[in-house]
């Protein structure tokens, strides 16, 4: 049995919840989750890697069990989230580490790499985008909000926060939906319905444009620092297209790109395959 510890870290007054497993002194792997989830999305992956790596999976600010301060106390931007995560890694002694990024974890992790390239030993991107061609038409309502941040366009995005949409994100593109446990999306829906959480998520929808604006800088980082790179992708993802995975090879010709016959939340159905790919890649 894998021993997983559930901890909290005080990051300059910000309370960050995280899962930790593996031997201290083993190669470090930081796991960064995406929307609308939290570190629990790695619940199947962590036991499969804990014999080889020292794993830490934090809940991003505003997600999961991490602190959920009022929007008047903390501006919910990806820059601020990345800054908290950078200080978090310092707080727990993660000085050099590989990083697994998914969805929102990608712009968070790539910002970390831009600010501290000396800390990054490798990158695993599971449906974590850094190229315009990786964005599907599913982003059009959010793009409309970027262009015109009117109350009407903001309200139009509230449907993306519903339980039905969360379940759809988990099951769309999965050949057999019965393979998807309800545990993940049910917990996501619980966290998403805490007081104030919807407005925070709408703020992050608005700020996601800052990540797209940074795509050229992320790509320059790849070309300059050439981190070992694995893209493992649910090929039926309705938001991040396979073209986004292939695009990494433009800036990182040695990148390894693998596609899985599943959707956005690939770990729900392919944790074993992803664990094997990571082990082979990092070994």
3 state DSSP class of 158: helix
> Among the options 40, 172, 264, 270, which is catalytic?
264
> What is the DSSP-derived secondary structure letter of residue 232?
E
Residue 42: both structure tokens together: 């790695």
Nearest to 76 by CA among 187, 196, 191, 163: 196
CB 192 within 8 A of CB 166: yes
Q: Phi-psi bin for 173: left (phi > 0), alpha (psi -120 to 50), beta?
A: left
Please confirm whether the linkage preceding 36 is cis (ω < 30° from 0): yes
Annotated active-site residue 33? The verdict is no
DSSP state of 25: T
> DSSP states of 27-91 as a string?
PEEEEE--TT--GGGGTTTHHHHTTT-EEEEEPPTTSTTS----TTTS---HHHHHHHHHHHHHH
Strands 14-21 and 256-260: what pairing? unpaired
Sheet holding 28-32, edge to edge: 4-11, 14-21, 54-58, 28-32, 97-101, 120-125, 229-234, 256-260
Sequential DSSP letters for 250-278: HH-TT-EEEEESS-S-THHHHHHHHHHHH
Tokens representing residue 213 in the block: 């604006």
Q: Which residues are catalytic?
A: 264
């Amino acid at each position: 049995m894998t021993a997983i510890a559930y901890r909290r870290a005080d990051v300059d007054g910000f309370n960050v919840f995280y899962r930790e497993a593996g031997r201290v002194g083993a190669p470090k792997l930081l796991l960064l989750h995406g929307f609308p989830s939290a570190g629990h999305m790695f619940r199947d992956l962590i036991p499969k890697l804990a014999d080889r790596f020292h794993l830490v999976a934090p809940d991003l600010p505003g997600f999961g069990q991490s602190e959920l301060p009022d929007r008047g106390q903390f501006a919910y931007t990806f820059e601020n989230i990345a800054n908290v995560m950078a200080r978090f890694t310092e707080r727990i002694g993660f000085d050099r580490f590989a990083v697994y990024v998914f969805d929102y974890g990608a712009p968070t992790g790539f910002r970390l790499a831009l600010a501290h390239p000396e800390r990054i030993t490798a990158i695993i991107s599971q449906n974590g985008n850094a190229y315009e061609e990786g964005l599907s038409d599913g982003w059009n309502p959010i793009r409309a909000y970027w262009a015109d941040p009117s109350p009407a366009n903001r309200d139009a995005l509230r449907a993306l926060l519903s339980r039905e949409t969360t379940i759809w994100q988990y099951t769309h593109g999965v050949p057999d939906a019965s393979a998807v446990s309800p545990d993940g999306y049910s917990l996501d829906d619980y966290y998403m319905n805490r007081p104030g959480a919807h407005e925070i998520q709408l703020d992050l929808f608005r700020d996601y444009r800052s990540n797209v604006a940074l795509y050229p800088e992320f790509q320059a980082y790849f070309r300059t620092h050439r981190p070992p790179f694995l893209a493992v992708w649910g090929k039926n993802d309705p938001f991040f297209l396979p073209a986004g995975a292939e695009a990494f090879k433009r800036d990182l010709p040695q990148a390894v790109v693998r596609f899985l016959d599943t959707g956005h939340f690939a770990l729900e159905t392919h944790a074993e395959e992803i664990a094997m790919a990571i082990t082979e890649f990092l070994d």
